[in-house]
Amino acid sequence: MNARREQLRAIGVEQIGPYALLRLERGELDPGVPGQFFMLEAPGRVLPRPMSLCRAPHGELQFLIDPIGPGTRALCSLAPRDAIHVLGPLGNGFDLNVRRPLLVAGGIGIAPMPYLDEALGGASAILGFRSDHHAAVAELLPGASVVVEPRFVTELLPDDPGDVLACGPEPMLEAVRARVPTAQLAWEAPMACGYGACYGCVVERDGRYMRLCVEGPVLQDAA
């Protein structure tokens, strides 16, 4: 494990639609590769929460959080100067060696896309959301094509989509994989540790369980 663990201070939390953008001082942590993640101490909870990096402006690490449970709500309630322990970067991020990148994201799956877009020097993007309220977060990726349910991101996938890099709910990722078998897909699973210790975050691939934290979270089927 090459990750570092440090106590980082919050700069602030910005509301974007139903989501929150948590801004932390970067400390000595390496922002890593887009698609990698960090374990964020959730105040008052037993386990930290895995979050992929959303943006990495100078001196900061920014995480987009959907406050769906006690841990994510605690993170969204951090006040400026509150400090939390952060471990990372962890896992395998996106392979940036792509010729024609197309970013595809659904809902909170937009989280790693702004940092990925920046690392790629700008890329086309298709975003899907369940409501206009959720779609407000598309502002983090100016110029992206946006669909709102009942329309799905797969409707906007061109016949020759190029190199697809996707993150979103499992049904969306499965639909993207069905259309583009070589797509790089960033998956999600509950995690306790984030560094391969607990065996809690397994997903089944080809009849065996793999730990998403060390073998993923970005997975790609053989081309």
Partner 1 sequence: MIPPILNASGCLDALTAPSVVERLDAFVTKTVTPLPREGNPPPRIAETESGMLNSIGLQNPGIDAFVSDNLPRLATLGVPVWVSIGGFSANDYALLCARLDDCADVTTIELNLSCPNVEEAPETAAELVAAARGATGKPLYAKLSPATWDVAESARAVAAEGADGLSLVNTIRGLGFEHTRRQPVLARGAGGYSGPALRPIALACVYACAEAVELPIVGMGGIASGRDVEDFLSAGASSVALGTILFSDPWAPDRLRSELEAAGAPRAEDVAGQVPESVV
What is d(CA 209, CA 219) in angstroms, rounded to the nearest whole number? 13
Contact between residue 10 and residue 21 where contact means Cβ atoms under 8 Å apart: no
Query: Is 192 a binder of partner 1 (CB under 8 A)?
Result: yes
Going residue by residue from 129 to 168, which x/- string records binding to partner 1, judged by CB under 8 A?
A: ----------------------------------------
Query: Is 189 a binder of partner 1 (CB under 8 A)?
Result: yes
What is d(CA 127, CA 120) in angstroms, rounded to the nearest whole number? 17
How many residues does the structure list for the chain? Answer: 223
Map the footprint of partner 1 across residues 68-107, applying CB under 8 A. Answer: 71, 85, 87
Of 149, 144, 145, the closest CA to residue 132 belongs to 149
Contact between residue 39 and residue 50 where contact means Cβ atoms under 8 Å apart: yes
Q: Which stretch binds partner 1 (CB under 8 A): 8-16, 94-102, 115-123, 184-192?
A: 184-192
Among 28, 46, 122, 160, binds partner 1 (CB under 8 A): 46
What is d(CA 52, CA 146) in angstroms, rounded to the nearest whole number? 21
Sheet of strand 218-220: strand arrangement: 145-148, 124-129, 101-106, 163-167, 184-186, 218-220
Minimum Å gap between C-beta 216 and partner 1 is 13
Among 103, 137, 193, 218, binds partner 1 (CB under 8 A): 193
Query: Is 17 a binder of partner 1 (CB under 8 A)?
Result: no
# binding residues, partner 1 (CB under 8 A): 29
Q: Which stretches of the chain bind partner 1, using CB under 8 A? A: 1, 5, 39, 41, 45-48, 71, 85, 87, 189-193, 195-204, 208-209, 214
